[in-house]
Structure 1
């Protein structure tokens, strides 16, 4: 009788252990456009992405840390994934992922629209929030980047607007905007520090209340703008990162007329063809503060092919005194900076 009881206990323990670690593998199928040669690393890319997403789901389901030792990722993509996971854990929403794969001239690849569900631990905000990721691979199919994607409508507008000549530049700009936004979610102060030029101009608007006076008998609101140096901005951002347990930044509606939901129109400087202006609608949410507003970034892409830098960052609130504002052309266009 004792032996039978021992066997039952052991069997029950095995069942519990199996249930705790039961995680269905994520199967990934990557498709390519007609007329595009099938890259040699495509099979490895879809298998490797499946392994990474399966491990993400396992860690989320069991509430444990990611096991990263054998993941087919380089150091850059691994650090990006770990930083995202540390701030806001997530999981892949599908057991079967079928997505289009972009194939580039050098054999590297990129996949957009990987479905994720954000689940910050111990926080009501973000639970069940849908988010998409973008994953890049080298020619052998190893992951080289894992980052949060832009708003789906925003990405689509970037892909379908502009002429063919600017297509590659638009994709490069989109990649850097995604990395820029992901850096805030990761609290990656080093990346943000690197991507701003040393002489960057940073203008931030703040809604302030104006007391009644001789000209106005009622309490009113106005926008008060502050100009910061890069050093000041980075110092204040570090404090914000320390104050907030989590940060979630979202971009949508990009470019000329984007505030009305129009097509993307990344503007190129007439004075310096290496400079591009990008207008974004930004939603900032965090554990202590949230706002919505318009963000303008002035990027310069060096002629030597190096990493681009942000020379100007301006932000203005979307709402003032209950009235929705449009982006101020005096601070959110290339023309405002004689470009």
Structure 2
């Protein structure tokens, strides 16, 4: 026969277990991975912790159907406002208790970006849209603070494996004609055309090869690719300076074939998520008085307006790194890399 003390002890165990399930079930742990050439455990740990705290608060707020409590979260003012505005329109939660995602490192650690964060939409008082899968993108500063929290353009599972559908021949011709106009604008230094062709929210990512000393012996130096992210205004401002420095800039594009370079994604593909979106991978040669390079360029075109298409994303990576020829990196040169 159980004594009162036994009943009390069992009750404490039961309620403790229930409380743990009720709270820990919403907690989200985050693991961030980086390229092999980058190592900064303290900043990575900060980003993991800060993103974990935000996702966990999102889950608690969604479950309790209340406003987000952003007090104490490592959110810069813009990110706080962005997240609050999203929450005012629709609630969502992270269905994964463990999130493992790759981090893009820009400007040797001045800025970081983590994408493909899985979310489930939970519309208040509506059936439409409930359960929709959506991915988020988070930007961090060099202290690991969250600079921005936004929804991605679209979302598909295993997105980096998604090349898209090979575009029809007629569409390929039209896209290539716009690519030629785009290329010619660099030759002509036509900054006004470039201002029109890039969308206001355009993302520009540029990779460059840099030497990294791996030991005391200078011959032990290795070469890695670092990435720099710019918005439309930054990119155009830098481009104008390049135009001013060089009397002539010779830019040439060559197509990447239907089978990619080495069996990768084809050169021109149509999004399976948004049929107005097309990804174009090209080999670019840039020659000018002060600088020359060869690399792979990826353009994300939006043909929602047939007569006025715009570019949402432009990425570039070097073809040669440390004397070794590279192939286009699917992580920044496919529709799937941008959730399309």
Q: So what's the TM-score if we normalise by structure 1? A: 0.48
Higher relative contact order structure (alpha carbons within 8 Å, sequence separation ≥ 6) = 2
Q: So what's the TM-score if we normalise by structure 2? A: 0.48
